[in-house]
Structure 1
Amino acid sequence: MERAKLEYNSEENRGKSLKQDLGLIINNPRYSDIKIICNDKKEIYSSRAILAARSEVFDGLLYNGMKESYENQIYLPTVNSTIMKIISEYIYTGSIKEPLTKDNIVEIFNAADYFQLLPLVDFIIETVKDELKVNYRNNYSPELLSKAVDTMILSEDNILLNMLIKAVSTTPLNTIEFGRLSIKALQYLLSCTHKKQKPFATPEYEVFRYSALLVSKEISNNTYKTLMELLPTLKELEKSIKVNNKWITNRQKVAKELAALVKFIDFRRIKEQIITDIIEPLEITPTVSIYRSYNSYCNNDTRGIPQLYNFKRYSYEIRSWSACIFVNASSELSDQ
Structure 2
Amino acid sequence: MMCHKGADLSFLVNNPKYSDLTILCEDEKKLHGCRAILAARSEVFDRLLYNGMKESYDNQVSFPKINSAGMEIVLEYIYTGSIKEESLTKDNTVEAFYAADYFQLSDLQDCITKIVKNSNLINNYSPELLSKVSETMPLTEDNVLLNSLVEAVAIIPLNNIEFGRLSIIGLKNLLSITYEKEMPFATREYEVFRYSAILAAKQVSNDTYKTLMERLPTLEQMENSIIVENMIITDRQKVAKELEPLVKFIDFKRINTQILADIIEPLEIVLDKIISNAYRYVALLNNLNLSDIRGKSINENRYIWDEIACGSKLIIEDNGKTVQAPNGCSYQNVRTKVALENKGIFTWDVIIERTCGCAWVGVCASENLDYEVFAGYQPTGWVLGSSGNCYYSNKVLYNYCPPFEVDGARITVHIDMNKRTCAFTVNGTKY
TM-score by length of 1: 0.81
Cα distance in 1, alignment partners of residues 245 and 147 from structure 2:
21
CA deviation map 1:19-76 (0-9, x unaligned)? 3xx3333333333222211112222221111001011111111122322222222111
8 Å contact from structure 1 (residues 222, 249) kept in 2: no
Matched, 1:24 2:15: no
Aligned match of 2:261: 276
Measured at CA, do residues 27 and 273 of structure 1 come closer, stay the same or move farther in structure 2, by a change above 3 Å? same
Cα distance in 2, alignment partners of residues 179 and 54 from structure 1:
39
CA deviation map 1:246-278 (0-9, x unaligned)? 211211111111111111111100111101111
- Show the 5 A alignment for 1:245-256: 245-256=230-241
Matched, 1:146 2:131: yes
- The structure that is helix-richer by fraction is 1
Q: Secondary structure of 1:240's partner?
A: coil
8 Å contact from structure 2 (residues 38, 46) kept in 1: yes
Q: Which amino acid aligns with 2:139?
A: L
Cα distance in 2, alignment partners of residues 240 and 91 from structure 1:
60
Q: Which amino acid aligns with 2:40?
A: A
Candidates 285, 291, 298, aligned match of 2:270 = 285
Aligned match of 1:223: 208
Aligned match of 2:251: 266
Measured at CA, do residues 36 and 184 of structure 1 come closer, stay the same or move farther in structure 2, by a change above 3 Å? same
Q: Secondary structure of 1:36's partner?
A: strand
Q: Which amino acid aligns with 2:78?
A: I
Unaligned runs of 5+ in 2: 1-6, 302-318, 323-346, 350-411, 413-424
Cα distance in 1, alignment partners of residues 78 and 143 from structure 2:
22
Offset at residue 107 of structure 1 (A): 1.2
Candidates 64, 69, 77, aligned match of 1:90 = 77
Percent identity reads 58
Q: Which amino acid aligns with 2:264?
A: I
CA deviation map 1:279-313 (0-9, x unaligned)? 11111111143542843256200011111458xxx
Compare relative contact order (CA 8 Å, sep 6+) and give the higher one, 1 or 2: 1
Cα distance in 1, alignment partners of residues 177 and 125 from structure 2:
19
Candidates 58, 69, 80, aligned match of 2:45 = 58
Q: Which amino acid aligns with 1:38?
A: C
Cα distance in 2, alignment partners of residues 88 and 266 from structure 1:
45
Cα distance in 2, alignment partners of residues 75 and 142 from structure 1:
31
Measured at CA, do residues 252 and 112 of structure 1 come closer, stay the same or move farther in structure 2, by a change above 3 Å? same
Measured at CA, do residues 275 and 319 of structure 1 come closer, stay the same or move farther in structure 2, by a change above 3 Å? farther
Q: Which amino acid aligns with 2:154?
A: S
Cα distance in 2, alignment partners of residues 72 and 318 from structure 1:
65
Matched, 1:295 2:281: yes
8 Å contact from structure 1 (residues 289, 295) kept in 2: no
Cα distance in 1, alignment partners of residues 75 and 158 from structure 2:
38
TM-score by length of 2: 0.64
Matched, 1:202 2:193: no
Measured at CA, do residues 121 and 194 of structure 1 come closer, stay the same or move farther in structure 2, by a change above 3 Å? same
Aligned residue-pair number: 301
Measured at CA, do residues 103 and 302 of structure 1 come closer, stay the same or move farther in structure 2, by a change above 3 Å? same
Offset at residue 153 of structure 1 (A): 2.3
Task: Provide the alpha-carbon RMSD of the alignment.
Answer: 2.9
Q: Secondary structure of 1:75's partner?
A: strand
Cα distance in 2, alignment partners of residues 190 and 82 from structure 1:
29
Measured at CA, do residues 29 and 99 of structure 1 come closer, stay the same or move farther in structure 2, by a change above 3 Å? closer
Aligned match of 1:113: 101
8 Å contact from structure 1 (residues 309, 318) kept in 2: no
Cα distance in 2, alignment partners of residues 45 and 114 from structure 1:
18
Candidates 28, 42, 61, aligned match of 1:74 = 61
- Show the 5 A alignment for 1:300-319: 300-309=291-300
Cα distance in 2, alignment partners of residues 56 and 319 from structure 1:
53
Measured at CA, do residues 220 and 318 of structure 1 come closer, stay the same or move farther in structure 2, by a change above 3 Å? farther
Matched, 1:126 2:114: yes
- Show the 5 A alignment for 1:158-173: 158-173=143-158
8 Å contact from structure 1 (residues 263, 291) kept in 2: no
Cα distance in 2, alignment partners of residues 318 and 267 from structure 1:
32
Candidates 29, 32, 35, aligned match of 1:48 = 35
CA deviation map 1:169-209 (0-9, x unaligned)? 11110100000000111111111111222221111100000
Deviates more, 1:165-174 or 1:38-47: 38-47
Unaligned runs of 5+ in 1: 1-17, 311-316, 331-336
Cα distance in 1, alignment partners of residues 23 and 429 from structure 2:
28
Q: Which amino acid aligns with 1:127?
A: I
Aligned match of 1:34: 21
Measured at CA, do residues 177 and 122 of structure 1 come closer, stay the same or move farther in structure 2, by a change above 3 Å? same
Aligned match of 2:221: 236
Aligned match of 2:89: 101
Deviates more, 1:175-184 or 1:57-66: 57-66
8 Å contact from structure 1 (residues 34, 74) kept in 2: yes
